Structure 1
Amino acid sequence: MKTIGILTSGGDAPGMNAAIRSVVRTSIYNGVKIMGIKQGYNGLLNGEIEEMNLSSVADIIHRGGTMLLSARCDEFKTEEGLNKALNIIEVFGIDGLVILGGDGTFRGAQKLCDAGIQVVCIPCTIDNDMGYTDYTIGFMTAVETAVDAIGKIRDTSASHGRANIVEVMGRGCGDIALYSGIAGGAESIIVPEVEFNIDEVCKKVIQGKNRGKLHHIIALAEGIGDAYEVAEKIEEKTGTETRVTILGHIQRGGSPTVFDRILASKMGNKAVELLLNGKSGRALGIRCNNIMDVDLDEALNTEKNFDIDLYNIGMILSI
């Protein structure tokens, strides 16, 4: 293993830069050349590759986004695109790849692995929707961003006696809504994994109002449907003015939390260690606070289990 390549693909996540820094510096420490691939798989196909050094990753551990940039690449999904990628890897003398991203990124890495390239993947996605690992890089930062927003929205909501739906990211996974809802003291949490009853939400709004509560915060995952439609129903049934705040891509940006910086640093170091030991087709994760690695097939096929116990705690605490 003389040369390692690194790329980031799919949606960016806070902590990606910390992982890049860890991979680059661990490689250099071990006497291995490290090549940065810009624009994800698209950049791989176009040969947007340059050698990185210690200075390349200076002053980035605290920055959100990805210094290597990211892009979608439909061409890579074709047989012709894969062959082109394999040729580029050979031309640049890359012996192994560290690939950062989510489910779709991992599937692309699996194709390279099946074609004989040594690959190790690091999970970076704010949705925390990969079932084989307790947490993905970027998730905790997104939750902190959502909690900060909920606190500010509560202030203005209470000033006007309103209910407010805060829509967070998570199409098929409600973890951001669950964690931020509990940490932010939301009165209702609506996620795709649990069927919700609009009348139960409205009952909480009315009961809170009757005991003098001036606000009602509802944390809602984007995968649940139209937040404005939910707000309209709440307003119709309760007579309480209900506003909607969609946080959107603000959740993807910002300086990563301490948790994400340390998680990324550990995983980046471990990724290089695995490649140096001849391992391939591995996906890094964290379970019970221990960094571990599993086969890529397992990572891609492990069902995500929603923490229903935590959800029930949220229901109890929001009475």
Structure 2
Amino acid sequence: MRYLKRLLPLAAVLGTSLAALTPGNAADETKTVRIGFQKSSTLATVLKTNGELEKRLAALGYKVSWSEFASGLPLLEALNVGAIELSADVADTVPVFAQAAGAKLTYVAQEAPSPTAQAILVRPDSPLKDLADLKGKKVAVTKAAGAHFLLISALSKAGLKFKDIEPAYLSPADGRAAFEKGAVDAWVVWDPFVSAAQKQANARVLADGTGIASYQRYYLAASAFAASDPKVIETYFELLQSTGQWVKANPAEAAKVLAPVWGLDPAIVETANGRRSYQVRALSAADLTEQQRIADVFFAEGLLPKEVKATDAEIWSPTGKKSSEVEKR
């Protein structure tokens, strides 16, 4: 995985090292499921808060351990090296980069598209009015994130190349700081960061993903774990589905649960959640069309070390169903 380490050094983005996450001996990790998540991992955060996953897995003889990551790429790196077994949702771009680096990962579930949940932001007094105005400008974006693909696709829509802008590869926290100081002309990011910037910094949306990038998020597992512990995967999948349904049916209550965890006003959280589908579904190879488009775009930009065939990835299916028999869109 040397490519991923060159791309985004883990030491810069993890609050703890992978070594610290890895148990000291095999006995320690027996019956423990380690799950990685991010701030934007809404459903995992709800499950972590309400303890429902721990309760369900305890009945199967498992404990749960949670580890937070700054972004999706180091999360999947941890999954690949055996520091965790399951990932909460990551942006659609992230599995593509992991796949290019040879990671042994299995798709567990997909969230239906949420194109408005990521956006290109400018300050309220910015002279930038449309995408073509980005030419020659400095734009903050997290490398390999879904926002990165949104930016490349938005530039293409405006007849521009990625080389026509000056990218500033920053984490969401650093991107927000640079944006507010005026060190960058625009910032490309996802919710809840979008909603927070709109409310707290009066940020203006230059463009979101509508008609540009579908923004489907994915839940993954280490392939060896998916094969050896199918009951855990099945339980995780079922709870993700029901939690997604609960969040959409109870927006105000969900916001109250998430607000103190995220350190945001409930109104901001509710706005952010309104832009995410949270429709968790099983997937088949046919559902990876957008993944292939993402892989082709990043390879063409020289950001992937090799071509990636999205359908080469392993895909988990619910009990009794083959990948070709999962719910049709």
Q: TM-score range by the shorter chain?
A: 0.3 to 0.5
- State TM-score, norm by structure 2: 0.33
Q: In terms of Rg, which structure is larger?
A: 1
